[in-house]
Chain A
Amino acid sequence: MLTQVMPQPQVVEDRDRAAIPPSDAEAESLPMAVQAKNVSMWYGAKRAVDNVTMDIPAKAVTAIIGPSGCGKSTFIRALNRMHELVPHTRVEGTVLLNGENLYSSDVDPAIVRRRVGMVFQKSNPFPTMSIGENVIVGLRLNGVRDRKFLNEHLEKSLRMAALWDEVKDDLHKSGTSLSGGQQQRLCIARALAVEPEVILMDEPCSALDPIATAKIEELIQDLKKHYTIVIVTHNMQQAGRVSDFTAFLYMGRLIEFGATTKIFTNPGQKQTEDYITGRFG
């Protein structure tokens, strides 16, 4: 049942692959950022994720698709231990971040979340903070005090999130004064400011209009030059547009994983094909 088109981790020289969609052969030679091995997750007695093994390549966009309730949002929360905030959840298996086990007993979940950032379905800037404070709050939390350094990072993060030009004169204004799409890019800037190794995006465009969505998708294309991105999406066109690799989850199980071009044009599994062609889900 559990078929994977999975490469083995190998270190190759880093290069800019932003424009070239990788083929399967290329995927086999990519370095891996996150390796999930036999991950199963429970909410109380209910099994939400069932024995998922998946290697997520570095500096590429990996989309996780599947019908509602298939466990995709739950699964990415295992990658930064966010599921631990919900009572009665349990994880089995291991998750390696650049080779280190996130679940070994000496790892502080707060440190994990600094290294694996997250952007949520709905934008959630801190309403009592200004735009500028929202961006650097992560650095502040982690002990950065140097005013000059903070200012530099403020601009850098906002530029990377393609928001600088729109807000540079309004940095003191409340984060909630922005439009929905701007707020979501502000949240991306906030996640970028702490320079995570991986960014998880949980349906980041589901509350946005098509224009704001297009801007976020463009941004994702830029960001993958520097970051490993895992995006959960309901929208298959979006997965096709932004991702290099796609994982299809169904009822908690990983049905298929591979290069997006292959999954969408020549899926290896009947279930994947049925889902992608809109026969269910």
Chain B
Amino acid sequence: MTKAQLLLRERSVRERMTPPSRFGDEAFKWLTLTMALAVVLLIVLIGWQLARGSSLAIQKFGFSFLITSTWDPVAEQFGALPFIYGTAVSSLIALLIAVPLSIATAVYLTELAPLWIRQPIISLVEMLAAIPSVILGLWGIFVMIPWLRDYPFPFLKRILGWTPIFTGPIYGPSMLAGGIIIAVMIVPIITSVSREILRSVPDLQREAAYALGATRWEVTRIAVLSYAGKGLFGAVILGLGRALGETMAVTMVIGNTPQIAASLFKPGYTLASVIANEFTEATTDMYLQALFEIGLVLFGVTILVNLIAQLLLKTIARGASPRAVQ
């Protein structure tokens, strides 16, 4: 082919081309924007719906709904404090149990475990998340509670009975049992998020510590955990979000008694449980309104926890940013 022919060919290729279309870019931008806004809209709508459904109760009880303890559907007197207390305490117990367990598991899996044992453990932990909540509740009623009642609870009472939180008769269904079942349910999420966080710590950080003569534990402490601290905190908050809203299994083991008792052996009640239990019985308008307001409180608490967590993360990030070195 001569040079002239080549030039001709090039021209014919160009002639066949259409100018780049901007339509695709625009459509893509609007499509994704719509999807993103839909998520935000959904949250706003849920909040609005909850507020609308509980407007009468909010008018009638006002702020006292949050700070009084009477829950009397017959007299139409409603106060949510025992449920708020129950949700807070059961979630706290769950975190106290689940956080050390989950982070230790994640550290073992990323830093110490031989390769052949990692995948089986990871799969098992993930399977735990796949167990339906109601099945876990059944297991709680028929296996966990009888066992707790016979062994760990009496043991706790014997050695820690002098404190107010482990006193009184042991029934079985209790705040402590509720907290433990929530812990079982949030271990998988905290573990797998923590594992991802720890895996994202650059090997260069570990090598830096090893090169100074650090032992495995020291490497984990100075190079891995401190680097991952922020992310691990995020994992814990994610677990807390789950714990606050956990419903079915908790309802089955917590005892469902609206009371505020110091002893963890006493039954309690959570915001989510009271909605699940009493929705079908809510015969009067005000009763239904009160349950809607419970829902609104739970919705608010969950969003608040996430907001505070993000604020905290930003404050910590202002110090040293682990993302600066990669």
Partner-contacting stretch, out of A19-27, A79-87, A257-265: A79-87
Given the complex, which residues of B lie within 8 Å of A125, measured CB to CB? 208, 325
Q: Which chain A residue lies CB-closest to B212?
A: A138
Contact of B320 among A87, A114, A142, A174 (CB under 8 A): A174
Say if the beta carbon of A122 comes within 8 Å of chain B: yes
* A154-177 vs B, Cβ < 8 Å mask (1 yes, 0 no): 000000000000000000001010
Say if the beta carbon of A120 comes within 8 Å of chain B: yes
* B280-312 vs A, Cβ < 8 Å mask (1 yes, 0 no): 000000000000000000000000000000000
Let me know if B204 and A122 touch, CB within 8 A: yes
Contact of B213 among A120, A124, A126, A141 (CB under 8 A): A141
Instruction: Specify the main secondary structure of chain B where it touches its partner.
Output: helix
Let me know if B210 and A176 touch, CB within 8 A: no
Per the 8 Å Cβ criterion, residues 203-257 of B in contact with A are 203-215, 218, 222-223, 226-227, 229
Given the complex, which residues of B lie within 8 Å of A176, measured CB to CB? 320-321, 324-325
Say if the beta carbon of A117 comes within 8 Å of chain B: yes
Q: How far is the CA of A165 from the CA of B202 in the complex (A)?
A: 30
Known contacts A124-B202, A128-B229, A118 near B211 by CB under 8 Å: yes
Q: How far is the CA of A190 from the CA of B208 in the complex (A)?
A: 9
Per the 8 Å Cβ criterion, residues 165-221 of A in contact with B are 174, 176, 183, 187, 190-191, 194
Given the complex, which residues of A lie within 8 Å of B223, measured CB to CB? 126
Say if the beta carbon of B115 comes within 8 Å of chain A: yes
Q: How far is the CA of A158 from the CA of B68 in the complex (A)?
A: 62
Let me know if B204 and A80 touch, CB within 8 A: no
**Which range holds the interface residue count of chain B?**
20 to 34
Per the 8 Å Cβ criterion, residues 107-127 of A in contact with B are 110-114, 117-118, 120, 122-127
Let me know if A128 and B211 touch, CB within 8 A: no
CB distance from A117 to the nearest CB of B (A): 6
Given the complex, which residues of A lie within 8 Å of B164, measured CB to CB? none
Say if the beta carbon of A56 comes within 8 Å of chain B: no
Say if the beta carbon of A97 comes within 8 Å of chain B: no
CB distance from A182 to the nearest CB of B (A): 13
Let me know if B207 and A82 touch, CB within 8 A: yes
Say if the beta carbon of A229 comes within 8 Å of chain B: no
Say if the beta carbon of B132 comes within 8 Å of chain A: no
Q: How far is the CA of A190 from the CA of B222 in the complex (A)?
A: 14
Q: Which chain A residue lies CB-closest to B324?
A: A176
Say if the beta carbon of A137 comes within 8 Å of chain B: yes
Contact of A87 among B115, B324, B325 (CB under 8 A): B115
* A67-103 vs B, Cβ < 8 Å mask (1 yes, 0 no): 0000000000000101001010000000000000000
Known contacts A126-B223, A128-B226, A128-B227, A187 near B324 by CB under 8 Å: no
Let me know if A120 and B319 touch, CB within 8 A: no
Let me know if B207 and A114 touch, CB within 8 A: no
CB distance from B116 to the nearest CB of A (A): 11
Q: Which chain A residue lies CB-closest to B114?
A: A87
Known contacts A87-B115, A141-B222, A176-B324, A126 near B208 by CB under 8 Å: yes
Let me know if A126 and B222 touch, CB within 8 A: yes
Let me know if A191 and B320 touch, CB within 8 A: no
Q: Which chain B residue lies CB-closest to A174?
A: B320
Q: How far is the CA of A118 from the CA of B207 in the complex (A)?
A: 9
Known contacts A137-B222, A141-B213, A120 near B321 by CB under 8 Å: no
Known contacts A87-B115, A124-B205, A176-B320, A82 near B226 by CB under 8 Å: no
Contact of B204 among A112, A114, A124, A174 (CB under 8 A): A124
Given the complex, which residues of B lie within 8 Å of A183, measured CB to CB? 325
Say if the beta carbon of B322 comes within 8 Å of chain A: yes
Let me know if A113 and B210 touch, CB within 8 A: yes
Q: Which chain A residue lies CB-closest to B213?
A: A114
- Known pairs A110-B213, A111-B213, A126-B227 / 17 extra A-B pairs, C-beta < 8 Å: A82-B207, A82-B210, A82-B211, A85-B206, A113-B213, A117-B212, A120-B208, A124-B205, A124-B208, A125-B325, A126-B222, A126-B226, A127-B320, A127-B322, A128-B227, A129-B222, A174-B320
Enumerate the 7 nearest inter-chain pairs by beta-carbon distance, A residue then B residue, closest first: A114-B213, A138-B212, A118-B211, A176-B324, A128-B226, A174-B320, A124-B204
Binding site for B on A (CB under 8 A): 80, 82, 85, 87, 110-114, 117-118, 120, 122-129, 137-138, 141-142, 174, 176, 183, 187, 190-191, 194
8 CB contacts below 8 A, A to B, read A114-B213, A125-B325, A126-B227, A127-B320, A137-B212, A138-B212, A176-B320, A176-B325
